[in-house]
Structure 1
Amino acid sequence: MSATVQPSDRTLVIIPTFNELENLPLITGRVRDALPDGVDILIVDDNSPDGTGDLADELAAADGHINVLHREGKGGLCGAYMKGFQWGLDAGYTVLCEMDADGSHAPEQLHLLLEEVDNGADLVIGSRYIRGGKTVNWPWQRYLLSKLGNIYISVALGAGLSDMTAGYRAYRRELLEALPLDELSNAGYIFQVDLARRSVDAGYDVREVPITFTERVIGESKLDGSFVKDSLAVVTKWGLEHRYKQVRDLVSAFGGLAVQTVREARKNRRAHR
């Protein structure tokens, strides 16, 4: 009897890189060790001056499960993932994943995300802030900033998610095909929030699983403080739009109920004459 075909049987792990020469062989090796042969890797390199792109080509030449997409210049994380998504969709993958190159997302935990996809989820987020999730080697100031920022985002957007800025994710292809990826906001890392809120608003099944986020050991973080201000400003705008829509829908619902009540009252009055 043949095994049941699962969406995760055709999974692509997208790993954007910029100056990740030391980290790249480590993360690709961990992915290949942790996951079955049905999982492939796409390295999206932004013309790294340290030779990461050349190393990616060498890794791909030695392993048929590794692919490389070269971009001209440093186009940002959002652009790298959008290119990676399109490459994966064109190649026929059924699940597409986001993963950092620096080891902060443990490949050994990717099976947790893929299992939820196979159980019916459209988007699964590896969360630091639900029960069982944690961060390792983060300064308390950064943890507090991220935690409070996510609380604010959750309250503002009413999405019911604890870690909307998280970048460890697994998407069903049907979700990515349905979303207007060319309309995503790319202020800072806000595109992650944008993808999650659009998925929730469209009625897709979005779930979180606990993961351990480990601060990079090799290289420097590419995140600067400006993203917080830019991102929260965008989220505030979305939050106001979300609340306005809620009020508008509530008024419309009450209006419809009032009209229906008046019609029924008139009908009953005529019936008793």
Structure 2
Amino acid sequence: MIDIVVPVYNEGKNIKNLFTLIEDKISTEKEVIIVYDFEEDDTLPVVKGILSDYSFPIRLQRNLYGRGALNAIVSGFRSAKEEAVLVIMADLSDSLEVVDSMFKKIKEDHYDLVCGSRYMRGGKQNGGPFLKGVFSRLAGLSLHLFTRIPTHDISNSFKMYRKSMLDSIEIESDGGFEVGMEITVKAYLSGYKITEIPSEWFDRSEGESNFKMWKWLPHYLHWYGLCIRRSWFKNHLTIKT
């Protein structure tokens, strides 16, 4: 079974379509955890009105650690109960048809982290701010080249994690969506088994994005630099030994 963590911020226009996509595209047994910041969020009345319309359980979870995307995602991690935990956005940007394949990598192939990858062969990005796309692609491809981390798309939030691995990693991020990059870097440096699967990303069609590129960029650069430094040290030590 998969726990699907969905951080929301006034996603009332999108949430019903998201549930329909989950129903249609994901055959694996699942529970959806909607993590929200405040009771006035316009997502909540929509969710409460359609709870019984779907074959999978839907759980509303108040953000445990204060407002913001980072705290919502971590709250979802902490409240998840199943061994596979997937993070998706409520803006319909993620290609959910690959989720069953991601779960198979966790369950049958014993991977600890499966990254949805826009920048590997077969992946694709559709739309979105130009500079955000350039920085994201450059970071993913260069980090893969320099450190051999087994994903071409380090910054994508669309990832499935083994819960036991998540529980073993101390999360230090204090910005936003870079938490997925932090976990991937730490998992790689700790020797966890990581893979990627091609995925397609679509720019949102309803509502406004909560992604703050210029505010969060230094946080992404921190984990990028740490991965470069630690990987060099580890590889250099191995060669010397």
Same fold, judged at TM 0.5 (above) = yes
Q: What is the correspondence of 1:52-63 to structure 2 with a 5 Å cutoff?
A: 52-60=43-51, 63=54
Structure 1 Cα separation of the partners of residues 219 and 99 of structure 2: 30
Tell me the secondary structure at the aligned position of residue 93 of structure 2.
coil
Q: Deviations over 1:221-269 (max 9, x none)?
A: 1112312234214422443344344445555x2xxxxxxxxxxxxxxxx
Matched letter for residue 84 of structure 2: V
Name the % identity. Answer: 21
| Count of residues paired in the alignment | 238
Tell me the secondary structure at the aligned position of residue 125 of structure 1.
strand
Does residue 66 of the first structure (1) align with residue 54 of the second (2)? no
Structure 1 Cα separation of the partners of residues 218 and 169 of structure 2: 26
Question: What residue is the counterpart of 1:199 in the other structure?
Answer: 187
Deviation at 1:196, TM superposition (A): 0.6
Deviation at 1:80, TM superposition (A): 1.2
Structure 2 Cα separation of the partners of residues 117 and 237 of structure 1: 26
The answer to whether the Cα contact below 8 Å between 2:5 and 2:34 also exists between their aligned partners in 1 is yes
Deviation at 1:82, TM superposition (A): 1.5
Matched letter for residue 206 of structure 1: I
Matched letter for residue 109 of structure 1: V
Q: 2:69 aligns with which of 69, 77, 88?
A: 77
Q: 2:172 aligns with which of 184, 206, 230?
A: 184
Between 1:134-143 and 1:94-103, the stretch displaced more is: 134-143
Deviation at 1:60, TM superposition (A): 3.1
Structure 2 Cα separation of the partners of residues 83 and 188 of structure 1: 13
Deviation at 1:73, TM superposition (A): 9.0
Structure number with bigger Rg? 1
Is the helix fraction higher in 1 or 2?
1
Structure 2 Cα separation of the partners of residues 41 and 27 of structure 1: 11
Tell me the secondary structure at the aligned position of residue 80 of structure 2.
helix
Q: Deviations over 1:8-52 (max 9, x none)?
A: xx2111111011110111101211222237211111111164521
- What value does the CA root-mean-square deviation take over the aligned residues? 2.4
Q: 1:134 aligns with which of 117, 124, 128?
A: 124
Q: What is the correspondence of 1:135-154 to structure 2 with a 5 Å cutoff?
A: 135-154=125-144
The answer to whether the Cα contact below 8 Å between 2:124 and 2:201 also exists between their aligned partners in 1 is yes
Structure 2 Cα separation of the partners of residues 122 and 205 of structure 1: 5
Question: What residue is the counterpart of 1:173 in the other structure?
Answer: 163
Provide the TM-score with structure 1 as the length reference.
Answer: 0.77
Q: Deviations over 1:75-134 (max 9, x none)?
A: 222211211111113xxx121111110000122221221122223221111100110000
Matched letter for residue 85 of structure 1: F
Unpaired segments of 5 or more residues in structure 1?
Answer: 1-9, 254-273
Question: What residue is the counterpart of 1:115 in the other structure?
Answer: 104
Q: Deviations over 1:170-192 (max 9, x none)?
A: 11222123222xx3323343211
Unpaired segments of 5 or more residues in structure 2?
Answer: none
Structure 2 Cα separation of the partners of residues 94 and 72 of structure 1: 21
Does residue 20 of the first structure (1) align with residue 11 of the second (2)? yes
Give the direction of change, closer, same or farther, for the CA distance of 1:165–1:36 in structure 2 (3 Å limit): same
Q: 2:220 aligns with which of 231, 234, 245?
A: 231
Question: What residue is the counterpart of 1:269 in the other structure?
Answer: none
Q: 1:105 aligns with which of 94, 103, 111?
A: 94
Structure 2 Cα separation of the partners of residues 123 and 187 of structure 1: 22
Structure 2 Cα separation of the partners of residues 246 and 62 of structure 1: 52
Tell me the secondary structure at the aligned position of residue 236 of structure 1.
helix
Structure 2 Cα separation of the partners of residues 189 and 41 of structure 1: 19
Give the direction of change, closer, same or farther, for the CA distance of 1:225–1:84 in structure 2 (3 Å limit): closer
Question: What residue is the counterpart of 1:161 in the other structure?
Answer: 151
Matched letter for residue 198 of structure 1: K
Q: Deviations over 1:57-88 (max 9, x none)?
A: 33335556111102379622221121111111
